[in-house]
Amino acid sequence: METMERTDTSKIYNYHGWQTYIDADRGYYPYFSNTIQERLNQKKVNNIVVVGEPGDGKSYLGTDICRIIEGYGNFSIDQVVFTYSDYMDLVLHLEPRKPICFDEPSFAMGKRTWFDELQRALVLTIESQRFKQHPLIIPICNADLLDKTIRTHLIQFKVVVHDRGKATVYRTHSSQFDEKFYHSFLCDLDYDLFDNDICDKDSCLDCELLNVQCDGDYVCQVFRARYERKKASVQEHRYEQARELSQKTEAKSLTIEQLENLCYSIKDTFIIDGKVNVNKLMMAMQEKYGIQLSNTKAYNIRAMLLEHHAEILKAV
């Protein structure tokens, strides 16, 4: 019996400063990155949508694609944006050929706002963005969340994420003759965890080093940690907005008796010289509970306070 020939023919090559496998037998080659690079050189537009279930690593994959396009160490966390204003800022001021990762655009704001205003603005921007030569990567749960014009006419590549680091790339075409829309297979992506030589934790969320600071700087400067910190700050802002919205919604459903009780608990703020100052009452309710009272309601509450709690005025 003859011995088998060497079958492990995978070689590691340098691709923009990153280690990449090339193996003709196994079909390993940087097909996708090369295609993007070629299109960049030809000054063609590169809009890529990365879709997949939450937690599958869309955002990491999106930033990985950006980091490969730009080369090792050149992609900045500032090029990852979550809001339309930040995105427009980058489009205006970023150097040409630098990629932008617009992470979960629907996440940054309420779905209704997103659909109403932002999508229209984004259609206009993406259409004209090619003059700025910025490859745009949009990680999003489902392409259907994007405007139909964007997903059918303005997206060139769709990356469907199956698992962390595993995805399939499709080149998208829309027919010029009818309303059909085609996806042709380009290649599979198999990315190991990026920066795994520095840190091999696949998630920063349970890492105690994530928010540890020393002399005002964060200790962990791994790219995905910086990404998580930036996302968390946007998320906090979003939660604040959501809280305010929920309070407003709840305030609308409060009865006049409940509002009266709330006002009574902060009576010291609006009783001046033994009188109920309606303006101060409205301001106090806004500041303390985030409840915006109309004039009529505020006067009604004042009347009820005088009726039910006459003793407070006497005491003052």
Partner 1 sequence: MENPIEKVIMEGLGDLKIRDKLPMAMLLANSVLTIQKCIQVAQNDEVSQREIQESIRGMLNLIPTAWRDDRFNEDLEKANTKKKVDLRPEFCGLRCSEEFCKKHGITAYVEEDALDYFKVLNAIMDLLNRRGLLGEVNRTEKMKGRKFNGNDGKNGHQ
* Residue selected from 153, 188, 229, 299 as contacting partner 1 according to rule CB under 8 A: 188
> CB of residue 7 vs partner 1: minimum separation in angstroms?
11
Q: Contacts with partner 1: how many residues (CB under 8 A)?
A: 38
Residue 32 sits in the site that holds partner 1 (CB under 8 A) = yes
Which of 194, 270 has the CB closer to partner 1? 194
Residue 216 sits in the site that holds partner 1 (CB under 8 A) = no
274 and 316 Cβ atoms separated by less than 8 Å: yes
Residue 19 sits in the site that holds partner 1 (CB under 8 A) = yes
**Residues 238, 249: Cα–Cα separation, whole Å:** 16
Strands (E), 221-314: 271-272, 275-276
Residue 30 sits in the site that holds partner 1 (CB under 8 A) = yes
Residue 170 sits in the site that holds partner 1 (CB under 8 A) = no
Class of residue 84 by CB neighbours under 10 A (exposed 0-12, middle 13-18, buried 19+):
buried
Q: Would you give the binding string for partner 1 spanning residues 80-99, x where CB under 8 A is met?
A: --------------------
Quote the tokens at residue 110.
């309420």
Residue 75 sits in the site that holds partner 1 (CB under 8 A) = no
**Residues 183, 174: Cα–Cα separation, whole Å:** 9
Which of 26, 120 has the CB closer to partner 1? 26
143 to 90, 106, 112, 271: CA distances (angstroms): 23, 11, 16, 55
Which of 74, 269 has the CB closer to partner 1? 74
SS3 label, residue 193: coil
Span of 85-93, 127-135, 193-201, 288-296 interacting with partner 1 by CB under 8 A: 193-201
* Residue selected from 68, 160, 204, 259 as contacting partner 1 according to rule CB under 8 A: 68
Q: Which element (helix H / strand E) includes 173?
A: strand 166-174
Backbone angles phi, psi at 285, to 5 degrees: -65, -35
Which of 11, 148 has the CB closer to partner 1? 11
Which of 177, 185 has the CB closer to partner 1? 185
> CB of residue 29 vs partner 1: minimum separation in angstroms?
7
Residue 124 sits in the site that holds partner 1 (CB under 8 A) = no
Q: Which element (helix H / strand E) includes 300?
A: helix 295-308
234 to 199, 239, 245, 294: CA distances (angstroms): 24, 9, 17, 32
Cα dihedral across residues 123, 128, 130, 136: positive or negative: negative
Which of 2, 307 has the CB closer to partner 1? 2
Residue 26 sits in the site that holds partner 1 (CB under 8 A) = yes
**Residues 261, 265: Cα–Cα separation, whole Å:** 6
Span of 20-28, 130-138, 143-151, 281-289 interacting with partner 1 by CB under 8 A: 20-28
Q: Which residues of this protein are in contact with partner 1, per CB under 8 A?
A: 10-15, 17-21, 24-33, 64, 68, 72-73, 169, 186-197
